[in-house]
Amino acid sequence: MKLIRVKEGEFKRLIKTRTVTTLLAQESNVKDGKFSLFGIDENNQQGYAIRHGRVDVLRTWRIDVLSAFAKSLGFTSIEVYFSRIDKK
């Protein structure tokens, strides 16, 4: 599956046109408690990630902010994946 980084406005457009049908949240390996958002286009086997507007770095949110964003986009569920790194 190919991953394409897009800005937030383009991500919202992909959802509005029903290109993206599934949302995933992946916890950052660098920042504890921060998650990146990915949208999946199952028909074309492509993934989309929201990046920052000025630099090509993935945006991260706290999970409560991310879930509110997903609700505002009309989603009723989101898959959440936690980082597998043991930070003892």
pLDDT along the chain (88 residues), means of 10: 94 96 93 94 94 92 95 94 73
Question: What per-residue confidence (pLDDT) applies to 86?
Answer: 64
CA dihedral 15, 62, 2, 39 (to 10 degrees): -20
Question: What per-residue confidence (pLDDT) applies to 31?
Answer: 87
Question: What per-residue confidence (pLDDT) applies to 87?
Answer: 58
Residue carrying the six token digits 């046109």? 17
Q: Which residue type does 26 have?
A: Q
The answer to whether the pTM exceeds 0.75 is yes
Q: Which residue type does 88 have?
A: K
Question: 29 near 84, Cβ under 8 Å?
Answer: no
Question: What per-residue confidence (pLDDT) applies to 48?
Answer: 97
Question: What per-residue confidence (pLDDT) applies to 32?
Answer: 87
Give the domains, in start order, of the chain with CATH numbers. Answer: 2-81 (3.30.720)
